[in-house]
Amino acid sequence: MRRATPYVPDWQGQDRKGLIRLDRNEATVPLSPAVAEALVAHIGQHGVHGYPEYPQLVAALAGYTALPADSILPTNGSDQAIDICLRAFLAPGATMLVARPEFVIFGHSAGLLGAEVVGVPYGPDLAFPYAEFRAAATTQRDLIVFVNPNNPTGTAVDVEFIVETVEANPGTPVVVDEAYFEFTGVTVAPLIDRYANLVVLRTFSKAFAMAGLRLGYVLARPEVIDQLVKIRNPFDVNSLAVVAALTQLSRVDEMRASVAETMGRTKPMVLEFFREHAVPVWPGAANFLLVRPARCDETVARLRAAGILVRRMTQPALAGMFRMNLGTPAEMATFMKVYRELLPVLGGGEAKQ
Ligand SMILES: Cc1ncc(COP(=O)(O)O)c(C=O)c1O
């Protein structure tokens, strides 16, 4: 405990209202009016004095995921899903295998449990390290983690490789974090039924634009869910998250249209912008990018001064890069205008810092 440090997101404590927020992989689209209306109606009719109930939410998630209800456990964000899985699968001294740098909560939670993280570095081009990971998995591990696609690198893992790993390690739980699933369409969820050691984590924070309401879920075989539910408290997911999710799941076309715009139009436009100006960029598979400007700290500071937040990377493998999620077309137009004006001062992306 004493050796651990709290996880403090960048720009914590700043008034974020009015800024273009590209630093936390939040959705920047406004909340769907239908969801806002459902929340207001719920509060008007029922208030918030009652503890939440989950059967309706689980039934709707069963429809969305095409999995049986007893394979689904709602959680307080997928951060809690990660925490629950790690607490279930890692005792002090246990080992967790993951490609590094991994989504930060995995390493943080494993550290608090006194577990050891066996981190296989991503390749120099941030490609998934298949051969090294396969070799590292030949040693018995207590938990294997895939973040697909990974945050912060954006790297996707082939489903075939995940299946190979699951099959080669039948006695080891394999957790696949699919927080960005809606942006890639790639999932191993349909395989839950076939493999008792496969656990999938999802969230409403990204494509469903609900990070502030904290809703995630675990998908696994019922016998696994029966164990994990012992760790989640009975009312960890709040009732407003349930109401919002039910509305979202009744109109997934709206979410899909927004994802299609982000991935089909906004992302290619922003990539083209960076390439045109010779700024190195790693597109990744999701709704965010890594960028390596010539002078990263100064670029991040100047963007901040212009009202735009991006996330400076601190991991050695990502030195000199910042991460930015894609905003609305209007926000991205502002971003490109501001960045273009900075180019004569800051230059393109040649130097590493
Ligand atoms: C890969 C990944 N997993 C999980 C999460 C946690 O999301 P939440 O706790 O909001 O569901 C994030 C958030 O950035 C993420 O990038």
* CATH number of the domain encompassing residue 240: 3.40.640.10
Q: For residues 272-296, give the mean pLDDT.
A: 96
In tens, the pLDDT along 81-119 reads 999 999 999 999 999 999 999 999 999 999 999 999 999
In the reported structure, the alpha carbon of residue 179 is separated from the centroid of ligand 1 by a whole-number distance in angstroms of 6
pLDDT at 75 over 90: yes
Q: For residues 203-218, give the mean pLDDT.
A: 97
In the reported structure, the alpha carbon of residue 277 is separated from the centroid of ligand 1 by a whole-number distance in angstroms of 31
Among 106, 108, 109, 151, residue to substitute to test ligand 1 (most atoms within 8 Å of Cβ)? 151
Packed helices 329-346 and 296-305: angle between N→C axes, nearest 10 degrees: 130
pLDDT of residue 353: 42
What mean pLDDT is reported for the chain?
Answer: 95
Same domain? For 297 and 183 the reply is no
pLDDT, greater one: 29 or 108: 108
Query: Which pLDDT band holds residue 124 (cuts at 50, 70, 90)?
Result: confident
* Residue numbers of the domain that contains 326: 20-30+253-346
pLDDT at 348 over 80: no
Determine the atom of ligand 1 nearest the C-alpha atom of 215.
11
pLDDT of residue 349: 60
C-beta pairs of 103-107 under 8 Å, 24+ apart in sequence:
103/147, 103/150, 103/151, 103/152, 103/177, 103/179, 104/7, 105/7, 105/79, 106/82, 106/145, 106/147, 106/177
pLDDT at 207 over 50: yes
pLDDT at 1 over 90: no
Query: Which pLDDT band holds residue 17 (cuts at 50, 70, 90)?
Result: confident
DSSP letters spanning 142-181 = SEEEEESS-TTT-----HHHHHHHHHH-TTS-EEEE-TTH
CATH number at residue 271: 3.90.1150.10
In the reported structure, the alpha carbon of residue 182 is separated from the centroid of ligand 1 by a whole-number distance in angstroms of 13
Same domain? For 189 and 301 the reply is no
Does ligand 1 lie within 6 Å of residue 178's CB atom?
no
Residue 352 located in a structural domain: no
In tens, the pLDDT along 298-347 reads 999 999 999 999 999 999 999 999 999 999 999 999 999 999 999 988 87
Within 8 A by CB and 6+ apart from 76, the residues are 214, 215, 216, 232, 236, 237, 238
Query: Which pLDDT band holds residue 351 (cuts at 50, 70, 90)?
Result: very low
Within 8 A by CB and 6+ apart from 182, the residues are 206, 207, 208, 255, 256, 259
pLDDT, greater one: 176 or 14: 176
Query: Which pLDDT band holds residue 352 (cuts at 50, 70, 90)?
Result: very low
In the reported structure, the alpha carbon of residue 276 is separated from the centroid of ligand 1 by a whole-number distance in angstroms of 31
pLDDT, greater one: 249 or 348: 249
Same domain? For 229 and 264 the reply is no
Query: Which pLDDT band holds residue 350 (cuts at 50, 70, 90)?
Result: low
pLDDT of residue 302: 96
User: In whole angstroms, what is the distance from residue 38 CA to residue 247 CA?
Assistant: 7
Determine the atom of ligand 1 nearest the C-alpha atom of 204.
11
Same domain? For 157 and 62 the reply is yes
In the reported structure, the alpha carbon of residue 201 is separated from the centroid of ligand 1 by a whole-number distance in angstroms of 9
Same domain? For 186 and 162 the reply is yes
Residue 164 located in a structural domain: yes
Domain boundary among 187, 221, 250: 250
Residue 5's Cβ-count burial label (10 Å; 0-12, 13-18, 19+) is exposed
Same domain? For 180 and 132 the reply is yes
Same domain? For 96 and 202 the reply is yes
pLDDT, greater one: 273 or 16: 273
In the reported structure, the alpha carbon of residue 26 is separated from the centroid of ligand 1 by a whole-number distance in angstroms of 9
Q: For residues 48-56, give the mean pLDDT.
A: 96
Determine the atom of ligand 1 nearest the C-alpha atom of 24.
14
Q: What percent of the chain has pLDDT over 90?
A: 90
Same domain? For 120 and 182 the reply is yes
pLDDT at 142 over 80: yes
pLDDT at 21 over 70: yes
The total number of structural domains that make up the chain:
2
Does ligand 1 lie within 6 Å of residue 79's CB atom?
yes
Same domain? For 99 and 237 the reply is yes
Query: Which pLDDT band holds residue 154 (cuts at 50, 70, 90)?
Result: very high
Angle ∠(121,288,203) on CA atoms, nearest 5: 90
pLDDT at 38 over 80: yes
Domain boundary among 208, 228, 250: 250
Q: For residues 271-282, give the mean pLDDT.
A: 96
3-state secondary structure of 35: helix
User: In whole angstroms, what is the distance from residue 215 CA to residue 76 CA?
Assistant: 5
User: In whole angstroms, what is the distance from residue 215 CA to residue 54 CA?
Assistant: 12
In the reported structure, the alpha carbon of residue 78 is separated from the centroid of ligand 1 by a whole-number distance in angstroms of 6
pLDDT of residue 346: 83
3-state secondary structure of 61: helix
Same domain? For 243 and 259 the reply is no
Residue 320 located in a structural domain: yes
Q: For residues 10-17, give the mean pLDDT.
A: 77
Sign of the Cα pseudo-torsion (130, 131, 132, 136, in order): positive
Same domain? For 237 and 271 the reply is no
Domain boundary among 200, 230, 250: 250
Among 79, 248, 290, 311, residue to substitute to test ligand 1 (most atoms within 8 Å of Cβ)? 79
Residue 149 located in a structural domain: yes
Determine the atom of ligand 1 nearest the C-alpha atom of 79.
9
Q: Which amino acid is at 38?
A: A
Residue 39 located in a structural domain: yes
Q: Whose CA is nearest to atom 16 of ligand 1?
A: 151
pLDDT of residue 2: 83
User: In whole angstroms, what is the distance from residue 38 CA to residue 254 CA?
Assistant: 15
> Around Cβ 292, how many Cβ atoms within 10 Å?
23
In the reported structure, the alpha carbon of residue 102 is separated from the centroid of ligand 1 by a whole-number distance in angstroms of 11
Q: For residues 53-76, give the mean pLDDT.
A: 98
Residue 15 located in a structural domain: no
Cα–Cα distance list, 139 to 132, 172, 244 (Å): 12, 11, 44
8 A C-beta contact, residue 349 and residue 280: yes
Does ligand 1 lie within 6 Å of residue 254's CB atom?
no
Same domain? For 179 and 309 the reply is no
